[in-house]
Structure 1
Amino acid sequence: MIRVLENEFYYLDNFQRVLDWIGERYGDLLDEDEHAFLAAFPVLPRNARALFVRMVMRKGELFRASKLNYVEIGCPVEAAGHLLGTGWVVADPELTLDELFDLLSKPEILEAFGSRLRVKNARKAEQLEALREACADSLPFSHWYKDCPDLALRILVKPLCDRLRLIFFGNLHQDWTEFVLSDLGLFRYEQVEFSPDSRGFRQRRDVDHYLQLHACKERFAAGEPLDDVVEDLPWHAFDNDWLDSRREKLLFQIGQHYEKLKDWDKAYGVYARCRFPGARGRAIRVLEKHERFDLAYELLSAAQAAPESEAERQQLARIAPRLARKLGHAKLAPRRSQAVRRIDLCLPLPLDDWWVEGVVRDHLALEEAPVFYVENALANSLFGLLCWRAVFAAIPGAFFHPFHRGPADLHSLDFHQRRASEFAACLAELEDGRYQDTIRRNYAEKFGISTPFVYWDALTPELLDLALACIPASHLRRWCERILADVKTNRSGFPDLIQFWPREGRYTMIEVKGPGDRLQDNQLRWIDYCAAHDMPVAVCYLQWEQAA
Structure 2
Amino acid sequence: MATPVELAPDYYLTNFRALVDFVVERYRPLLSEGERQFYVTFRALEANSQRLYVRLLSRKGVPSSAGALFREHKLAYAEIDQLPAAAEALCEAGLLRRNPELLLEEILPLFTKAELQACSPVSLPRSMKREALEQALLERSEDEQESLRRTLLGNDSLLAVQAAEHFDTFKLCFFGNLRQDLTDYVLRDLGLYRYEKYPLEREHLPFQNRAQIDRHLRYYRCLEQLDGALEAGADEITALAQQLPEAGEGDATLHRRVDRLRLALARQLERLEALDAADQLYRHCTRPPARERRARIAAKRGDIEAALAICREILAEPHNEAEQVFAESFGFRTAKKAGQPEGWEPPSRPRPPTETVALPRLPERVELLAAAHLQEEPDVSPAQCFYVENSLFKGVLGLYTWDILFAPVPGAFFNPFQVAPSDFRSPDFFPQRRAAFEQRLAELDRGSLAGRVWQHYREKNGIANPLVAWEALPEDLLELALERIPPEHWRQLFRRMLGDISHHRNGLPDLVLFPARRGYELVEVKGPGDRLQQNQLRWLAFFARHRIPHRVLHVEWQP
Structure-1 residue corresponding to 2:526 = 513
Which one of the candidate residues 539, 545, 549 is aligned to 1:536? 549
Cα distance change, pair 422–306 in 1 and its aligned pair in 2 (3 A): closer
Provide TM-score, normalisation by structure 1.
0.88
2:524 match: secondary structure: strand
Structure-2 residue corresponding to 1:156 = 162
Measure the CA separation in 2 of the matches of 1:274 and 1:425.
32
Which one of the candidate residues 476, 494, 498 is aligned to 1:484? 498
Q: CA deviation at 1:356?
A: 4.6
Structure-2 residue corresponding to 1:230 = 238
1:82 match: secondary structure: helix
Which one of the candidate residues 347, 350, 357 is aligned to 1:345? 357
Cα distance change, pair 506–259 in 1 and its aligned pair in 2 (3 A): farther
Measure the CA separation in 2 of the matches of 1:136 and 1:442.
72
Structure-1 residue corresponding to 2:22 = 21
Answering whether residue 256 of structure 2 is matched by residue 245 of structure 1, we say yes
Measure the CA separation in 1 of the matches of 2:259 and 2:89.
45
Measure the CA separation in 2 of the matches of 1:144 and 1:109.
10
| Contact 1:112-1:146 within 8 A present in 2 as well | no
Structure-1 residue corresponding to 2:482 = 468
2:472 match: secondary structure: coil
Cα distance change, pair 309–106 in 1 and its aligned pair in 2 (3 A): closer
Answering whether residue 328 of structure 2 is matched by residue 322 of structure 1, we say no
Measure the CA separation in 2 of the matches of 1:12 and 1:460.
39
Cα deviation code 1:456-477 (max 9, x no counterpart): 3433334333322332232212
| Contact 2:7-2:190 within 8 A present in 1 as well | no
| Contact 2:387-2:510 within 8 A present in 1 as well | yes
Structure-2 residue corresponding to 1:131 = 137
Answering whether residue 384 of structure 2 is matched by residue 363 of structure 1, we say no
Structure-2 residue corresponding to 1:372 = 386
1:368 match: secondary structure: coil
Cα distance change, pair 220–105 in 1 and its aligned pair in 2 (3 A): closer
| Contact 1:496-1:510 within 8 A present in 2 as well | yes
Q: CA deviation at 1:152?
A: 2.7
Cα distance change, pair 538–10 in 1 and its aligned pair in 2 (3 A): same
Q: CA deviation at 1:527?
A: 1.4
Measure the CA separation in 1 of the matches of 2:290 and 2:47.
53
Aligned residue pairs, count: 541
Structure-1 residue corresponding to 2:64 = none
Q: CA deviation at 1:189?
A: 2.1
Measure the CA separation in 2 of the matches of 1:118 and 1:484.
64
Worse overlay, 523-532 or 4-13: 4-13
Letter aligned with residue 322 of structure 1: R
Cα distance change, pair 140–359 in 1 and its aligned pair in 2 (3 A): farther
Cα distance change, pair 182–485 in 1 and its aligned pair in 2 (3 A): same
Aligned residue runs from structure 1 range 70-149, under 5 A: 70-105=77-112, 108-109=115-116, 112-113=119-120, 116-119=122-125, 127-134=133-140, 143-145=150-152, 147-148=154-155
Measure the CA separation in 1 of the matches of 2:382 and 2:35.
66
Letter aligned with residue 87 of structure 1: G
| Contact 1:495-1:512 within 8 A present in 2 as well | yes
Q: CA deviation at 1:254?
A: 2.9
Aligned residue runs from structure 1 range 216-295, under 5 A: 216-222=222-228, 223-227=230-234, 228-233=236-241, 234=244, 236-239=246-249, 240-295=251-306
Cα distance change, pair 143–530 in 1 and its aligned pair in 2 (3 A): same
2:60 match: secondary structure: coil
| Contact 2:350-2:537 within 8 A present in 1 as well | no
Measure the CA separation in 1 of the matches of 2:153 and 2:523.
73
| Contact 1:97-1:136 within 8 A present in 2 as well | no
Q: CA deviation at 1:44?
A: 1.7
Structure-1 residue corresponding to 2:397 = 383
Cα distance change, pair 437–136 in 1 and its aligned pair in 2 (3 A): farther
Measure the CA separation in 1 of the matches of 2:127 and 2:429.
62
Measure the CA separation in 1 of the matches of 2:232 and 2:128.
35
Aligned residue runs from structure 1 range 389-468, under 5 A: 389-424=403-438, 426-427=440-441, 430-431=444-445, 433-468=447-482
Q: CA deviation at 1:384?
A: 0.7
Letter aligned with residue 88 of structure 1: L
2:464 match: secondary structure: coil
| Contact 2:206-2:410 within 8 A present in 1 as well | no
Which one of the candidate residues 199, 204, 214 is aligned to 2:210? 204
Letter aligned with residue 522 of structure 2: M
Worse overlay, 45-54 or 218-227: 218-227
Cα deviation code 1:175-205 (max 9, x no counterpart): 1222122111123322211132222333323
Cα deviation code 1:56-100 (max 9, x no counterpart): 111122223333323332011011111112222112334444544
Identity of aligned residues (%): 35
Provide TM-score, normalisation by structure 2.
0.87
Cα distance change, pair 151–335 in 1 and its aligned pair in 2 (3 A): closer
Letter aligned with residue 89 of structure 1: L
| Contact 2:117-2:123 within 8 A present in 1 as well | yes
Letter aligned with residue 204 of structure 2: S
| Contact 1:406-1:452 within 8 A present in 2 as well | yes
Aligned residue runs from structure 1 range 9-88, under 5 A: 9-60=10-61, 61-88=68-95
Letter aligned with residue 45 of structure 1: E
Cα distance change, pair 282–512 in 1 and its aligned pair in 2 (3 A): farther
Q: CA deviation at 1:445?
A: 3.5
Measure the CA separation in 1 of the matches of 2:272 and 2:372.
45
Letter aligned with residue 226 of structure 2: F
| Contact 1:195-1:394 within 8 A present in 2 as well | no
Cα deviation code 1:515-545 (max 9, x no counterpart): 5544333222221222211211112234456
Measure the CA separation in 1 of the matches of 2:7 and 2:45.
23
Cα distance change, pair 253–444 in 1 and its aligned pair in 2 (3 A): farther
| Contact 1:92-1:140 within 8 A present in 2 as well | no
Measure the CA separation in 2 of the matches of 1:532 and 1:314.
16
Measure the CA separation in 1 of the matches of 2:343 and 2:222.
45
Cα distance change, pair 96–448 in 1 and its aligned pair in 2 (3 A): farther
Q: CA deviation at 1:452?
A: 2.0
Q: CA deviation at 1:508?
A: 0.9
| Contact 1:94-1:141 within 8 A present in 2 as well | no
| Contact 2:329-2:346 within 8 A present in 1 as well | no
Worse overlay, 60-69 or 334-343: 334-343
1:224 match: secondary structure: helix
Which one of the candidate residues 306, 310, 314 is aligned to 1:303? 314
Worse overlay, 179-188 or 462-471: 462-471
Unmatched runs of 5 consecutive residues or more in structure 2: 62-67
Letter aligned with residue 212 of structure 1: R
Cα distance change, pair 439–120 in 1 and its aligned pair in 2 (3 A): same
| Contact 1:56-1:158 within 8 A present in 2 as well | yes
Q: CA deviation at 1:297?
A: 1.6
Worse overlay, 228-237 or 1-10: 1-10
Cα distance change, pair 465–79 in 1 and its aligned pair in 2 (3 A): same
Measure the CA separation in 1 of the matches of 2:99 and 2:340.
76
Measure the CA separation in 2 of the matches of 1:360 and 1:262.
49
Unmatched runs of 5 consecutive residues or more in structure 1: none
Cα distance change, pair 106–15 in 1 and its aligned pair in 2 (3 A): same
